[in-house]
């Protein structure tokens, strides 16, 4: 572990404690709805452990999967309005298993240049032809698809919310293009789930495409309790194929039942306590308002709790991250190779738990640090 890696003692939250006992204001977690330390989730985990023990000690196709997994699949299907869902130990595993199972020689996979590493790695494992379009450049995507007829099956792939920019994919346009060119559409909802107003999914639920598959992947390791696990949701046919062919599903354990029980409770709490999402949206708006007051540039029309704060060069960002740390603010510098060279930034992640005072504290400290 590197010297700069924070060692947390106690729960994940907006106020965290490191091993030396120092309290930090935390702007670097995906705990968007503050569920990681929700008593109902902890109780669900404890009850599951008492009833079912630590784990399955095997892969699903040999020992079967647990009722806790089955419940989570069902809740995920309902949450997204999909036909079916298959669980994995993580969304990384889901994305790595997906492409090689569905696409082979003679097929085409077209991917946004800023897609998450797990999608990139998964796509590399498929024997299909691969093509990239610049981030969000749907005109270029359509140019690439002019050759669509030369291929068998074709997939368009994007993050629904991009993890370094906090911007949304234009899902309606993607659906139109996929329909027009008889393509599958694959979206990674990892940073969307839980954050989209008003119910955590918003207008990004599943519905069939006329002449292709709509496939959604996602994680339970962020807004949904922050424990572990990932999924692929879509049609019955796609999920059945993945159960037979996805190598991380066949050759690796699922998340343990306790993680499934925690994620299931997270979905229930998200439904029961919509005020968490409402508060998150208010915080996103308040952050933009305070940034404008202090003259800190943030992307225009920011609608997501990921907000990149950019400086003139990578060194300035790294220096600012250290200085923020000295002021007991945990906000992490992202630099090459996580983002392109000299596009370093502090990736701020807001939660429903941040106060205006904490957000103002971060923004004024940042403007002093980069001055």
Ligand X SMILES: Cc1ncc(COP(=O)(O)O)c(C=O)c1O
> Could you give the residue numbers annotated as active site?
163, 191, 222
Question: If binding is defined by CB under 6 A, does position 159 make contact with ligand X?
Answer: yes
* Sheet strand arrangement including 129-133: 84-88, 230-234, 214-219, 184-188, 154-159, 108-112, 129-133
Write the binding mask 32 to 61 for ligand X: x where contact by CB under 6 A, - elsewhere.
Answer: ------------------------------
User: Is residue 212 close enough to count as binding ligand X by CB under 6 A?
Assistant: no
Minimum CB separation of residue 338 from ligand X in Å reads 10
94: CB partners within 8 A, 6+ apart: 86, 88, 118, 217, 218, 230, 231, 232, 246, 248
Q: 219, 281, 351, 352: which one contacts ligand X (CB under 6 A)? A: 219
- Minimum CB separation of residue 99 from ligand X in Å reads 13
Which DSSP state fits 171? H
* Closest CB to ligand X among residues 80, 369: 80
Structure tokens at 277: 């999402």
* CB-nearer residue toward ligand X: 60 or 187: 187
65 contacts 254 by C-beta, under 8 angstroms: yes
Residues 6+ apart with CB under 8 A from 8: 16, 17, 18, 19
Helix (H, G, I), strand (E, B) or coil at 154: strand
Minimal distance, residue 259 CB to ligand X, in Å: 11
Position 165 contacts ligand X (CB under 6 A): no
Is the Cβ of residue 141 or residue 228 nearer to ligand X in the bound state?
Answer: 228
Minimum Å distance from CB 68 to ligand X?
A: 17
| Comparison of 136 and 361: residue with beta carbon closer to ligand X | 136
> Among 134, 159, 112, 167, which residue's Cα sits nearest to residue 307?
167
Strand positions, DSSP E, the chain? 8-9, 15-18, 23-26, 84-88, 108-112, 129-133, 154-159, 184-188, 214-219, 230-234, 306-310, 329-330, 333-334, 345-349
Give, as ranges, the residues between 78 and 97 that touch ligand X (CB under 6 A): 90-92, 95
| Encoded tokens for 241 | 């194929």
Q: What are phi and psi of 217, to 5 degrees?
A: -115, 160
- Tokens representing residue 321 in the block: 């991250």
Give the binding-site size for ligand X (rule: CB under 6 A). 14
DSSP 147: G
Residue 31 touches ligand X, criterion: CB under 6 A: no
Q: In what order do the strands lie in the sheet with 329-330?
A: 8-9, 15-18, 23-26, 329-330
Q: What's the burial of 38, exposed, middle or buried (CB within 10 Å: 0-12/13-18/19+)? A: buried
Compute the least distance from the CB of residue 218 to ligand X, in Å. 8
Q: Based on the shown chain and the rule CB under 6 A, indicate whether residue 347 belongs to the binding site for ligand X.
A: no
Bridge partner list, 185: 156, 214
- Closer to ligand X by Cβ: residue 230 or 256: 230
> Which residue, 97 or 230, is less far from ligand X as judged by CB?
230
What mask of x and - would describe binding to ligand X in positions 175 to 194, judged by CB under 6 A?
Answer: -------------x-xx---
* Phi and psi at residue 249, to the nearest 5°: -80, -40
* 112 part of the interface to ligand X, by CB under 6 A: no
* Residue 111 near ligand X by CB under 6 A: no
Should residue 221 be labelled a site residue for ligand X when binding is judged by CB under 6 A?
A: yes
Please report whether residue 335 would count as binding ligand X according to CB under 6 A.
no
Q: For ligand X, which is the closer residue by CB, 214 or 290?
A: 214
Going residue by residue from 227 to 246, which x/- string records binding to ligand X, judged by CB under 6 A? ---x----------------
Residue ranges in contact with ligand X by CB under 6 A: 90-92, 95, 116, 118, 159, 163, 188, 190-191, 219, 221, 230
């Amino acid at each position: 572990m590197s010297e700069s890696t924070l060692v947390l003692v106690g729960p994940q939250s907006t106020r965290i404690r490191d091993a030396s006992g120092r309290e930090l204001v935390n702007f670097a977690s995906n705990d968007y709805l503050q569920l990681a330390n929700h008593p109902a989730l902890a109780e669900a985990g404890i009850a599951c452990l008492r009833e079912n023990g630590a784990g399955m000690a095997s892969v699903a196709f040999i020992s079967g999967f647990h009722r806790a997994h089955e419940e989570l699949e069902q809740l995920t299907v309902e949450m997204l309005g999909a036909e079916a869902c298959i669980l994995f130990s993580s969304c990384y595993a889901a994305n790595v298993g997906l492409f090689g199972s569905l696409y082979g020689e003679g097929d085409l996979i077209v991917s946004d240049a800023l897609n998450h590493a797990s999608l990139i790695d998964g796509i590399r494992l498929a024997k299909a032809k691969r093509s990239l379009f610049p981030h969000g450049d749907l005109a270029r995507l359509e140019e690439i698809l002019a050759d669509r007829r030369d291929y068998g099956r074709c997939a368009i792939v994007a993050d629904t919310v991009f993890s370094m920019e906090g911007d949304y994919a234009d899902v309606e346009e993607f659906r139109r293009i996929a329909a027009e060119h008889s393509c599958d559409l694959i979206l990674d909802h990892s940073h969307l789930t839980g954050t989209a107003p008003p119910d955590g999914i918003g207008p990004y639920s599943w519905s069939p495409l006329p002449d292709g598959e709509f496939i959604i992947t996602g994680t339970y390791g962020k807004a949904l309790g922050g424990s572990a696990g990932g999924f692929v949701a879509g049609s019955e046919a796609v999920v059945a194929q993945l159960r037979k062919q996805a190598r991380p599903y066949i050759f690796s354990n699922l998340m343990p039942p306790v993680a499934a029980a925690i994620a299931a409770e997270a979905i229930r709490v998200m439904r029961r306590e919509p005020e968490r999402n409402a508060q998150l949206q208010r915080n996103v708006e308040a952050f933009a308002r305070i940034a404008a007051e202090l003259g800190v540039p943030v992307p225009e029309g920011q609608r997501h709790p990921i907000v990149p704060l950019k400086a003139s060069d990578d060194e300035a960002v790294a220096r600012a991250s250290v200085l923020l740390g000295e002021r007991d603010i945990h906000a992490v510098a992202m630099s090459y190779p996580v983002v392109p060279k000299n596009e370093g930034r502090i990736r701020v992640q807001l939660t429903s738990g941040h106060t205006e005072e904490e957000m103002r504290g971060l923004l004024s400290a940042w403007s002093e640090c980069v001055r």
